[in-house]
Amino acid sequence: MAPSTSVTEHTYRCLSCLDGTRDRDFNVSHVSATCGACESFARFVNETVLDRFRAFEESPPAALDWERLDRSEKFLVCDQVVRSNRSIEDFAVSD
Q: Does 50 bind Zn ion (CB under 5 A)?
A: no
User: Between the CA of residue 34 and those of 1, 26, 30, 41, 53, what are the distances in Å?
Assistant: 32, 18, 13, 4, 22
Q: Is 31 helix (H, G, I), strand (E, B) or coil?
A: strand
Q: Which is nearer to Zn ion, 17 or 55 (CB)?
A: 17
With CB under 5 A as the contact rule, the residue among 35, 64, 78, 81 that binds Zn ion is 35
Please give the single-letter amino acid code of residue 25: D
Q: In whole angstroms, what is the distance from residue 68 CA to residue 57 CA?
A: 12
Q: Does 78 bind Zn ion (CB under 5 A)?
A: no
Q: Does 20 bind Zn ion (CB under 5 A)?
A: yes
Instruction: For residue 28, give the H/E element and its range.
Output: none
With CB under 5 A as the contact rule, the residue among 10, 11, 16, 60 that binds Zn ion is 16
Q: Does 52 bind Zn ion (CB under 5 A)?
A: no
Q: Which is nearer to Zn ion, 20 or 74 (CB)?
A: 20
